[in-house]
Amino acid sequence: MTEDPRASVPRWCWLFAAAALLWNLMGCMIFLSEVFAKEAMMESFTEEQKEWSRAIPIWVYVVFAISVLSGVIGSIALLLRHKLATHCFAVSFVAVVTQMGYTMLVAGGLKVMGPSGAVMPVLVTMLSMVWLCFAKYSSTKCWL
């Protein structure tokens, strides 16, 4: 019998990795809702907000898909203790920054949606960075 040279993983790390998976799966649900039920999601929007949302280019949705799919794959890799997690979370982070930066700053989302509209993009960006840092930390601790 061969022993696994990787260090034992504390229980809190498994919970953290499971939280990352749940968060990224929720991101997939939001992506699917935005792609397939966009009009229903915009029911409470003002006309200006609807116009802004409809004007978002398709490439932003491609980047959105990349961010959530690489986040899910990274989360699964984290749970499987695979070093691929760090790379996936790095891709996800770059995609999140690209998507949120464009929609909120370049496309004027902050102006149209108001300051309260920045809460979720900031949270998503911060958590994306947290998952990446955690994967890097896990790698240095030989948990991956």
Region 63-84 average pLDDT: 97
What residue segments make up the domains of the chain, in order of their start?
Answer: 11-38+49-140
DSSP state of 103: I
Q: What is the mean pLDDT of the chain?
A: 92
The reported pLDDT for the residue numbered 115 is 86
- Report the percentage of the chain scoring pLDDT > 90: 67
The reported pLDDT for the residue numbered 3 is 54
Whether residue 95 is predicted with pLDDT greater than 80 in this model: the reply is yes
| C-alpha span between 95 and 110 (Å, rounded) | 19
The reported pLDDT for the residue numbered 1 is 46
The reported pLDDT for the residue numbered 2 is 53
110 or 70, higher pLDDT: 70
99-133: per-residue pLDDT in tens? 999 999 898 888 888 888 889 999 999 999 999 99
119-140 and 11-36 helices, crossing angle to 10°: 140
The reported pLDDT for the residue numbered 114 is 86
Q: Hey, what amino acid is at 1?
A: M
Query: Phi, psi (5° rounding) for residue 46?
Result: -75, 170
